[in-house]
Amino acid sequence: MAHLFKSKLTVASFLFFLGALLFFLGAQGNNQKFSAKPLAQVTPSQKALSSDQGISSADTPADSFEEAEVVRVVDGDTIEIAGGKTVRYIGIDTPETVDPRRPVGCFGKEASDKNKELVEGRQVKLVKDVSETDKYGRLLRYVYVGDTFVNDFLVRNGFAKSSSYPPDIKFQEQFREAENEAREGNKGLWAGCNTSVSEQVPTIVQASSPGNCLIKGNISSSGEKIYHMPGQQYYTKTKIDEGAGERWFCSEEEAISSGWRKSKV
């Protein structure tokens, strides 16, 4: 009788142990099935950029950028942000509107108005190139609002010209291409002004004309090669600096074959 009791006790113990083991394994399986994976960590800059899918990869702001509210538009290429700092757009130049020493430039008001339309009262991203500020203490920045690269937009639509100064030249070639597109499409100041911004040249020492070769082969501020014929609007003002690669031509055929194009005015 005692032997039978011990046998039953052993079986009961075994069944209890087996049940406990199955319960434990089931609990572990449920925990694995429903446990949540840790969320991927997203940096603030990644969050900010995730909404800018419309900006091409070449124009996407770098990881290091500042966000700021534009409280006032000074002119076409300058803004004031919250905190009182002034920001000068890198790589572009719009016609003058606020310098008391100079008259309001052709298409200057339109450029200023367009800049207001784009950024005033809005949050923008500010991206530095190399320099922190210019000689006037203004922050030098590329500016983005939503899906728009503002510096490029103003040049590409004829509100500004390309005007890059080393060492801040990251988008120099892009801005030159944008200016060419605006000029060829007669957009903005390229259609509405008598003065061709990129074809103005500084006054420098005049190189003498070699014999009867009177065509002036000038290189504009944006690097474009433009020749001027006697009698054209800017012929007299154009000065040839042979040390900078400019030259005289004896015929239009010679100028064109050398890579110059004729001035439009």
In the chain, where the domains are located: 66-192, 197-262
Task: Identify the three-state secondary structure at position 141.
Answer: strand
Confidence of residue 7 (pLDDT cuts 50, 70, 90): low
- Structure confidence at residue 64 (pLDDT): 82
- Structure confidence at residue 241 (pLDDT): 77
Q: Is the model more confident about 228 or about 37?
A: 228
Which residue of the set 66, 96, 224, 254 is catalytic? 96
Which residue of the set 138, 156, 176, 183 is catalytic? 138
Whether 71 has a pLDDT exceeding 70, the answer reads yes
CB 167 within 8 A of CB 131: yes
Q: How many of the other CB atoms lie within 10 Å of CB of 39? A: 6
156 is annotated as an active-site residue: no
Mean pLDDT for 171-200 is 82
- Structure confidence at residue 107 (pLDDT): 93
Mean pLDDT for 64-84 is 95
Whether 174 has a pLDDT exceeding 80, the answer reads yes
- Structure confidence at residue 140 (pLDDT): 96
pTM exceeds 0.85: no
- Structure confidence at residue 51 (pLDDT): 31
CB 255 within 8 A of CB 217: yes
88 is annotated as an active-site residue: yes
**pLDDT tens digit string along 204-222?**
334 455 667 889 988 886 7
Q: Is the model more confident about 44 or about 63?
A: 63
**pLDDT tens digit string along 147-161?**
999 999 999 999 999
Q: Is the model more confident about 238 or about 73?
A: 73
Percent of the chain with pLDDT over 70: 67
CA angle 125/127/133 to nearest 5° reads 120
Q: Is the model more confident about 202 or about 89?
A: 89
Which residue of the set 88, 141, 156, 247 is catalytic? 88
Mean pLDDT for 119-131 is 96
224 is annotated as an active-site residue: no
CA torsion through residues 17, 22, 28, 31, sign: negative
Q: Is the model more confident about 210 or about 29?
A: 210
Confidence of residue 194 (pLDDT cuts 50, 70, 90): low
Which of 95, 91, 51 shows the shortest CA–CA distance to 197?
Answer: 95
- Structure confidence at residue 258 (pLDDT): 85
Whether 115 has a pLDDT exceeding 90, the answer reads yes
| Cα separation, 186 vs 28, whole angstroms | 72
- Structure confidence at residue 62 (pLDDT): 55
The topology (CATH level 3) of 66-192 is OB fold (Dihydrolipoamide Acetyltransferase, E2P) (2.40.50)
